[in-house]
Structure 1
Amino acid sequence: MLRGFTPPYTPDGRSSLVPAPPWHYAGTVLSMACPTEPAAAARFLPQGFGRATGRIIAHVCEWQATTDGWELLDPVNAQYREFILLVEAERDGAAVNFCPMIWVDQDISLIRGWLQGWPKKLGQVWMTRSYGLDHPAAAPLRAGTRMGASLAVKDRRLAEAAVTLDGGEGQSLGFLAGPTYGLVGAPSIIGEPTAGALRLVLPGITGRVAGPMASGTAELRFFDAPRDELAALRPTGPAVAAIGNVAITVTGATDMGVVAG
């Protein structure tokens, strides 16, 4: 018998790229919320999802993930960085988020994302690390500290951010503040090739633990690229920023039904 939650399927199932949830995550999250053109934001929402508010949230994250702990002993399987782009919307009278695009530098994370409606692609993500030391290289989370982040895909820079901390307490933004939806497709080349139905899903996130968040402001810039559409959601003003350490657990996802693209 061949086993495995995802390919490849083998007698023991140990070769599967991604094991079944729960998936536990801990890491540093830099969040930046800024305005964009509402009409542009609306084009990235599924039909009937809700009204675009004209705000986007970018998260730059450095994560460590595990299922039952074994990955922490082999960190090449646990650690990765990602750039998340969310479109804020009003849905049934409440503020929610939709994830139209996201990039990661780890194949394990990419497949986990596809399963829970996070449309991940591979990219190179960098962010300034902060250490709790009084030293020029430590970037401590205090007023006046400057930090940066960037995203590149296939040798092209798509985004960069310059953050200045102000010494205040940061607020929860994006997926740390409210429900965040995504789409799961069912593409197939069996018989007639088809993209399959698009299902709106809501990942099940539990066990959130957060440390202190530092606040600041950010300049967030997006750049044109031939095969990525991030620049269509260019910021039209400065961003509110927050950075800190967060831990969450993903237990699965809720199917919200088939939607039109």
Structure 2
Amino acid sequence: MAPIRAEYLAEGFNLKGKVDAAKLPGGYSYPLTPNGNGNVLGEPPYHFCGEEMVIVYKADPEEVKKFLPYPLEPSIENPGGCVIHFNSYESVVERDVNLLRDLPDRCLFTEAYIEVRCRFKGKESKIYVYFWVDKDYSLLRGWIFGAPKKIGEVRTSFEKHHMNDLNPYFPKFDKGFEIGAVCSAHMEKLIFGSCKLDKRIEPSQMHKDIFIPTNNLILFPDVQMGYKGRSVNKIAHNVMDTWYGDVWECSDAKLDFFESVAEEHTLLKPIEITASYFCPLGFTMYGHIVDYDSNKE
């Protein structure tokens, strides 16, 4: 099965031209240890498989605009366009594939994230604006790659759906089955989403906003005394391959955002739901390509 690869990859990008981070002193990331085995995150490539519920919706364009830092601009094609994902994944670093057997908790994680439509260098794009995940290695990977991850908890009703057929009292995972997910953080319920399986479709039939390129904002603050700028301020895109399984188009989607004392996600609450899906998928992230660096402009 051929992967779906982003159309905006730089020509001539060599997927094998990466540095062997295992040979770097201390390894790839903190904490630096003699053999690198203690790193929170090993070097790419990263391999993933899992399932997700995706809801495409529209928020208030004026509120979406407030989440777009320079040089991103509001979308012309779909101002206010948003996509929210609720995911259950397993992930391995290529040189540590046996961790899935030896230390499963190190490879299993859940997350929820919101993307909003925008424009970058005159082209329609998306950017991550909110991202919750339940494992430290995924959080660090997000910060390095430009996803604004925070620690949270995500629970879904579809993580073990393949076992429903084993008990006649469980609803069958088929047309009419309702899936749902809850995202919370620090004991606050933040977002609830649900939808109902309707019909199987080809991945290419999903809403175009899912396939609009996503730009990653890579930010690290400068902590010099008295300075409030950023030592790193880049925009990049991931180099990755994606494979889809049996995609379900869903109906009767619901999406509720709850007020929080520590978040501003309700500014992105839905005013209209456009589409919803259940997607089994696999993907591999090889690295990213930097498209903008404010320190070099």
Structure 1 residue corresponding to 2:187, chosen from 155, 167, 174: 155
Cα deviation code 1:102-149 (max 9, x no counterpart): 000011100000011101000010111122754443551x32111111
Cα distance in 2 for residues equivalent to 1:175 and 1:23: 24
1:85 and 1:99 in contact (8 A); partners too: yes
Aligned residue in 1 for 2:162: 131
Aligned residue in 2 for 1:257: 292
Aligned pair count? 258
Q: How many angstroms does 1:48 deviate by?
A: 3.2
Q: How many angstroms does 1:193 deviate by?
A: 5.0
- Highest CA radius of gyration, 1 or 2? 2
Structure 2 residue corresponding to 1:143, chosen from 156, 164, 175: 175
Aligned residue in 2 for 1:72: 100
Please show how residues 1-261 of structure 1 align to structure 2 within 5 Å. 2-52=25-75, 53-68=79-94, 69-73=97-101, 74-91=103-120, 94-129=123-158, 130-131=161-162, 133-134=164-165, 135-137=168-170, 139-140=172-173, 142-169=174-201, 171-172=205-206, 177-192=211-226, 194-196=228-230, 197-206=232-241, 208-217=242-251, 218-258=253-293
1:31 and 1:59 in contact (8 A); partners too: yes
Q: How many angstroms does 1:14 deviate by?
A: 1.0
Q: Which runs of 5+ in 2 are unaligned?
A: 1-23
1:31 and 1:242 in contact (8 A); partners too: yes
Q: Quick one: structure 1 residues 40 and 136, their matched pair in 2 at CA, closer, same or farther if it must change by over 3 Å?
A: farther
Moved more, 114-123 or 3-12: 3-12
2:56 and 2:209 in contact (8 A); partners too: no
Cα deviation code 1:201-236 (max 9, x no counterpart): 212212x11111001131111111121111010000
Q: Quick one: structure 1 residues 195 and 90, their matched pair in 2 at CA, closer, same or farther if it must change by over 3 Å?
A: closer
The structure whose residues are more often helix, as a share, is 2
Cα distance in 2 for residues equivalent to 1:255 and 1:238: 33
Q: How many angstroms does 1:33 deviate by?
A: 0.2
Cα distance in 1 for residues equivalent to 2:36 and 2:119: 42
Q: How many angstroms does 1:183 deviate by?
A: 1.0
Identity score, percent: 22
Per the normalisation by structure 1, the TM-score is: 0.90
Q: Quick one: structure 1 residues 44 and 81, their matched pair in 2 at CA, closer, same or farther if it must change by over 3 Å?
A: same
Q: Quick one: structure 1 residues 35 and 164, their matched pair in 2 at CA, closer, same or farther if it must change by over 3 Å?
A: same
Aligned residue in 1 for 2:16: none
Cα distance in 2 for residues equivalent to 1:167 and 1:70: 36
Q: How many angstroms does 1:155 deviate by?
A: 0.9
Q: Quick one: structure 1 residues 139 and 253, their matched pair in 2 at CA, closer, same or farther if it must change by over 3 Å?
A: farther
Q: Quick one: structure 1 residues 192 and 12, their matched pair in 2 at CA, closer, same or farther if it must change by over 3 Å?
A: farther
